[in-house]
Amino acid sequence: MAIESKENKKKRILKIISLFERYYPDAQCALDHKTPEQLLFATILSAQCTDERVNLVTPHLFKTYPHLQDLARAKQGDVEKIIKSTGFFRNKAKNIISAAKDLVEKHHSQLPKTIEGMTSLAGVGRKTANVVLGNAFNIASGVVVDTHVRRLSNRLGLVKVQNPEVIERELNELVPKKHWVMFSHWLITHGRAVCKARKPQCETCFLFEFCPKKGV
């Protein structure tokens, strides 16, 4: 099989994006939140956990700790009880409280609006930072790479690696920057609805002609 050039990939991605815009006009972040801070903590909780589970947990968390100052002063054991069902709850509780403290003490209770500032917070890697910056502030800092994005970007032949940071870097070079935020939402939506992990529904997929790994 001939190796596809970067320029051809870029052209193919533009066609894929055009179809995404038609079929998923309402794609958006699946994590329920009302403020940028809530999105940050929900995203921290989403590690190794479904968005649906996180959305069941966060209403109680945010009602119990309505302000950053409340969460910064929270006892870890109390937070653990609320978020236990999300998995890895001890580490997540520690990171959430530490991030809240950092925001209060170092950032005047305001989320940083740079990738460097966001990743300086406890429990915040590039994925979480990209989610918050993109969805809370519409700042395109990079394509968010979760399990769906990793799987579909490989299936579609856009990348041939599994490392999230490498995938992000390669997708950033291929996808127009104005689409960085939405591209992950489109892939996630498509991954849940059609290009499923165990049984991709290739026979009904509108990306069929642009997919080099049909049925894989």
Reading the chain (216 residues) residue by residue, the pLDDT tens digits are: 568 999 999 999 999 999 999 999 999 999 999 999 999 999 999 999 999 999 999 999 999 999 999 999 999 999 999 999 999 999 999 999 999 999 999 999 999 999 999 999 998 999 999 999 999 999 999 999 999 999 999 999 999 999 999 999 999 999 999 999 999 999 999 999 999 999 999 999 999 999 986 655
Token digits of residue 166: 């490498």
Report the chain's terminal Cα–Cα distance, integer Å: 15
Q: Which residues are catalytic?
A: 127, 146
Range(s) of the chain covered by CATH 1.10.340.30: 36-137
- For residue 135, the model assigns a pLDDT of 97
- Single-letter amino acid code for the residue at 122: A
What is residue 201's DSSP assignment? -
Reference 143, options 172, 120, 119; nearest CA is 172
d(CA 88, CA 184): 25
Region for residue 135 given its phi and psi (left: phi exceeds 0; alpha: psi -120 to 50; beta: otherwise)? alpha
For tokens 């579609």, name the residue. Answer: 156
Domain 6-28+142-210 has CATH 3.40.50.1220: no
Range(s) of the chain covered by CATH 1.10.1670.10: 6-28+142-210
pLDDT digits (tens, 9 = 90+) for 155-183: 999 999 999 999 999 999 999 999 999 99
d(CA 142, CA 202): 28
- For residue 214, the model assigns a pLDDT of 62
- For residue 1, the model assigns a pLDDT of 53
Task: Return the CATH architecture of domain 36-137.
Answer: Orthogonal Bundle (1.10)
| Cα-to-chain-centroid distance, residue 68 | 22
Which helix (H) or strand (E) segment holds residue 50: the answer is: none
Residue 216 CB burial class (10 angstroms; 0-12, 13-18, ≥19): exposed
